[in-house]
A and B are shown apart, each in its own frame.
Chain A
Amino acid sequence: MSESVTTEEPPVGTEERLSHYRSMVLSREFETAAERQYKAAKIGGYCHLSSGQEATSVGTVAGLDQDDYLVTGYRCHGFALARGVSAKAAMAELFGREDGCAHGRGGSMHLLDVEKKFYGGWGIVAGQLPIATGIALGIVRQGRSQAVLCELGEGAVNMGAWHESLNLAALWDLPVVFLVVNNSYGMGTSVDRASAEPEIFRRAAAHRMHGERVDGNDLDEVIEASRRLLDRARLDRRPAVIEAVTYRYRGHSVADAGLAYRSKEEIADWSEGRDPIARQRLRLQESGVTVEDLEAIEDEARSEVEAAVEHAAASAEPSVDQLAHGMYAPGSAAQFERMRPGSPFGEEALTFDAGLGA
């Protein structure tokens, strides 16, 4: 499967490896809790879980420097957490609360954290690609040494925005790495039913861009490749495609049982045979980490998620008089003053006073 070279040595030190392990467990626990809270009607809308994809999210984010940027699609919980968004802020967002990272305005699909340089959480398939490309353009214009990691699903590569973005990135030597999370299905459509070239990484060649495929369930392999490609982007301004082959255990979103288009055996083959967390756990044990230490990490992650749920439940709901919060830049309210008389639908207070860039 892999086109890259796996190194003999563990690529990172033990401290770091434990922290990555913790991050993977946190992500899994977060998704499990999110599903439970969704079913308890504390979370609404679409909620796309990434259980099974932890090595891909944690491993690629590990390749980012603190100063680099991250942009993702809607399946973003694991990426947000790996990037350091607190479980509290993420869970509060899923609950639609004021303490959420988007103040309850975005929900599950639209997490973000500007301080962590995580620029969303986007819901239109492939819509985030041109945006990530533009962030890379901004980096070049500002003469900085930074890179952008842009996550997308393998279903997104059949959109025009994919082809157009790759071409721009290659043509203008932009520091962006497109991460294709190939979890085998876009909703109920398997890769081979959607892509004439199902080996997605090969499509980079059409733009004379480097592309490679990694085992997205092998944390070390993902880290090695993403580090190498993000370094190249940052230092040499060379864009790339990295395709991580992985699997989503749950349905497309919580509303989809995920069984109509794939077999239970197939799911078990991945979740029991190739689980990225179990695999990494075994590796850590082999390298001398004790079971007690691992369990301590797991307990800690679990408690962090429990605390996040409690925090979210206790957080205030946004106030209805702030309906338009954030819509326009501060100072814009005055520009709308003259639109109010004889308002468009009789409720000008609701429409124009509600937190409109006051």
Chain B
Amino acid sequence: MTAQAQAEPGEAAVSGPGTMTFREAIRLALREEMARDEQVFVMGEEVGLFDGSYKVTSGLMDEFGPDRVRDTPISEEAFVGAGIGAAMIGERPVVEIMTLNFLLVAMDQVVNHAAKVGAMFGGEVRVPMVIRTPNGAGNQLTAQHSQSFDGWFAGTPGLKVLAPANPADARSLLKAAIRDDDPVLFIENLPIYKEKGEVDPGDDSIGEIGLAAIAREGSDLSIVSHSFATVRSLQAAEILEREHGYSVEVVDLRSLRPLDVATVADSVVKTNRALCVEEGWPSFGVTSEIAARIQKACFDDLDAPVERVGMAEVPLPYAKPLELAAMPGTDRIVAAAIATLEGAR
């Protein structure tokens, strides 16, 4: 997953043997899990006849039929809640929400219901359900359609929140999420759907929830990120090495709740500097949490204050120059990394 991967044009053109897009990897995991377990079914807006708003579920209705690939009306609160109910009696629903923005309509079912069932009923009943949805911005979709609330959900006890950054992890972690007995929010991302990576179809191992990855090794600085922010951070690390001679490690969280604090801390103890990057607003966000964990776990090892980069803290404006300025682009990550490395602030 390098800077190149993002620059490549059409996704169909390049998928060589073992290479697939993030979108294809998700589809593969869904197919494999549906074939394996009758209880797994998909529902959401436009997932069937329309082949999915972002074509993730393309072809699945033809393969599995309209009972297992269920088109819903625009009724997020009802069909997310219906997923919870079905899961409570042993179904394995995978609910697609068109984008994370629309999950807010169903927030009550997610936070007040799905997240509560296990503990509130004394462990008597479980909710083995997955909600898949993309976050992200960058296409001038404006204030109501460009948001990444990952931190809100990761801050909710009772939920598990996964947010992989490459196709192989997307596949193995979605399989893990579907087999998990708790409600899992599986966060995808709009621009990441086209990202390509190696996926071995023969290897159907399932991912480990709660395990971060070292996406790139380095010794001068640790960048900690997840989902598309990891793609951006890897590009930034490349630039930092090529143009500034720094060796940058990138820790890809993959799982936000549970959070792999140990891997993050090991990395920062090694590099002594940390930059946290996320796609969403940083205040009270994922990077707030990571920074707090780092200062606690690595207090004696830090050579610079922990730095953060995220979306500028405004509802995203439409005009292209404003949107670009607001995004946590590689230029901003590089600048923040240099500030952390050179103690400019």
Contacts and interface: CB of A to CB of B under 8 A. Distances in A.
B319 A97 contact: yes
Interface stretch (B120-128, B137-145, B168-176, B193-201): B137-145
A107 B316 CA distance: 11
Interface stretch (B151-159, B218-226, B252-260, B320-328): B320-328
Contacts, number: 151
A194 interface: yes
Q: Of residues B45, B71, B287, B318, which shows the largest number of chain A Cβ atoms within 10 Å of its Cβ? A: B318
A189 B322 contact: no
A40 interface: no
Interface stretch (A216-224, A270-278, A294-302, A345-353): A345-353
A344 B317 contact: no
Given A347-B332, A350-B312, A96 B318 contact: yes
B321 A320 contact: yes
Interface stretch (B22-30, B33-41, B72-80, B262-270): B72-80
B101 interface: yes
Interface stretch (A20-28, A152-160, A284-292): A152-160
Interface size class of B (residues with CB under 8 A): 35 or more
Interface string B53-72: 10000000000000000010
Interface stretch (A51-59, A63-71, A118-126, A233-241): A118-126
A346 B50 contact: no
B335 to A, nearest CB: 8
If over half of A's interface residues share one DSSP class (helix, strand or loop), that class is named, otherwise mixed; here it is loop
Contacts of A186: 73-74
Interface in B282-332: 282-283, 287-288, 305, 307-310, 312-315, 317-322, 325-326, 332
Contacts of A318: 317, 319, 321-322
Contacts of A125: 74, 102
17 contacts: A44-B318, A96-B319, A97-B319, A107-B140, A109-B142, A122-B144, A123-B145, A159-B77, A160-B105, A187-B53, A344-B310, A345-B287, A345-B310, A345-B336, A346-B336, A347-B312, A347-B332
Interface of B: 45-46, 49-51, 53, 71, 73-78, 101-102, 104-105, 139-145, 282-283, 287-288, 305, 307-310, 312-315, 317-322, 325-326, 332, 335-336, 339, 345
Given A318-B321, A344-B283, A354-B312, 8 more contacts: A45-B139, A46-B145, A97-B319, A160-B78, A189-B45, A194-B73, A317-B320, A320-B322
